[in-house]
Copies of this chain bind each other. A is one copy, B any other.
Amino acid sequence: MPIALQRHPTSGGLLRSVGAVVKQGGLYGAPRLAPIAPHLLQQRSQHRSITIHTLDHERDIRERVVILGSGWAGYTLATQLDSKKYQPVIVSPRSYFVFTPLLASTSVGTLEFRTALEPIRSRRTKVSFFQGWGDDVNFKNKTVTIEEGVDDPRQGLALAGDRHEDETPLQRENEKKVEAKKGELLDLKYDKLIIAVGCYSQTFGTPGVREHALFLKDVGDARKIRNRLLTCFETASLPTTTDEMKKNLLNFAVVGGGPTGIEFSAELHDIIMEDLAKIYPGLIKFHKITVYDVAPKVLSMFDENLGKYAMDTFRREGIDIKTSHHVQGLRLGLPEEADKSKVRDDHGCWTLKLKEEGEVGVGMVVWSTGLMMNPFVEKALGKPQTLSKHGVRFETGRIQDATQKWVVKKDSKSGSIITNEQLRVVLETSEKEVSASRAILEDVFAVGDCAVLEGTMYPATAQVASQKAGWLAKRLNKGDIDNSAFHWKNMGVMAYVGNWNAILQGGKGGNVSGRAAWFIWRGAYLTKAVSWRNKILIPVYWFVNWVFGRDISRF
Chain A positions within 8 Å of B, measured between CB atoms, are 5, 7, 14-15, 18-36, 38, 40-41, 44-45, 47-48, 94-96, 112-114, 117-119, 121-124, 130-131, 148, 150-151, 155-156, 181-184, 186, 218-220, 223, 230-231, 234-244, 246-247, 273, 275, 277-288, 317-318, 342-343, 345-348, 531-533, 536-537, 540, 544, 547-549, 551-555
Contact = CB atoms under 8 A, between A and B. Distances in A.
Contacts of A124: 548
B553 A119 contact: yes
Contacts of A96: 553-555
Given A25-B282, A45-B247, A285-B44, A240 B121 contact: no
For the complex formed by this chain, how many copies does it contain in all? 2
A41 B95 contact: no
Given A239-B23, A241-B183, A243-B45, A544 B555 contact: no
A119 B218 contact: no
A18 B345 CA distance: 11
B280 A25 contact: yes
B242 A21 contact: yes
A151 B234 CA distance: 9
Given A241-B21, A282-B26, A343-B181, A551 B32 contact: no
Contact of A32 (B240, B284, B540): B284
A218 B555 contact: yes
A14 to B, nearest CB: 7
Contacts of A236: 25
Contacts of A247: 41, 45
A238 B279 contact: no
B150 A343 contact: no
Q: Which 10 residue pairs of A and B lie closest in terms of their CB atoms, listed nearest first? A: A35-B318, A26-B282, A183-B240, A156-B555, A182-B346, A96-B553, A31-B281, A25-B237, A533-B548, A25-B282
Contact of A35 (B113, B317, B347): B317
A28 B279 CA distance: 9
B239 A282 contact: no
Contacts of A48: 243
In this complex, the member of A20, A119, A244 whose beta carbon has the largest number of chain B beta carbons within 10 angstroms is A119
Contact of A242 (B20, B223, B230): B20
A159 to B, nearest CB: 14
B548 A531 contact: yes
A538 to B, nearest CB: 11
Given A31-B278, A537-B540, A21 B243 contact: yes
Given A34-B318, A112-B112, A244-B45, A25 B548 contact: no
A426 B232 CA distance: 40
A25 B249 CA distance: 14
Contacts of A346: 182-184
Contacts of A112: 112, 114
A239 B24 contact: yes
B555 A223 contact: yes
Given A95-B553, A117-B553, A33 B241 contact: no
In this complex, the member of A18, A41, A186, A283 whose beta carbon has the largest number of chain B beta carbons within 10 angstroms is A41
